[in-house]
Amino acid sequence: MNEPFPDLEIYLKGVSPEMALVWLQTHFKLLDLNKDKNSHYCSLNSDQNSSSDQSNMECLINAKAAKGGFISLWFKQNKTQWPTDKDCAEVAFDYFIEQDDQIEVRCSTGGWEGQDDGGWFRFTKEGQHQVNWL
């Protein structure tokens, strides 16, 4: 892989938006939070010890992202430590599986600029598998 994805998005099943927000705050400094019925709009700073604007990014937590009870976390700018959706998904899964072994995390197998093959990585207590999520 050459460059980090410009944005990241992962999907979580069995995780509430509030739980996702707690997880985000283990990695980022929360600068601002606005909520509506189905979404949390966050401003985050990737450097918890700094207030540099260059480290600021937006994240959307969508409570009704996909059928089956999935929420999504979308980092609109990838100023995270994770180069790809899969890297982010692995870290999220490792955190949430400790709290509930029924959670599931998904992310696209592809990247940007024609790299997306339409597949998905699925993380469960049974392991990581590639699936076709329609």
The 10s digit of each residue's pLDDT in 14-31 is 999 999 999 999 999 999
Give the mean pLDDT of the chain: 90
- 95 neighbors 27 (Cβ within 8 angstroms): no
The answer, yes or no, to whether residue 114 has pLDDT greater than 60, is no
Give the count of alpha carbons within 13 A of 75, CB side only.
Answer: 29
The answer, yes or no, to whether residue 134 has pLDDT greater than 90, is no
What is the model's pTM?
Answer: 0.90
Q: Which amino acid is at 128?
A: Q
pLDDT band for position 51 (cuts 50, 70, 90): low
The answer, yes or no, to whether residue 39 has pLDDT greater than 70, is yes
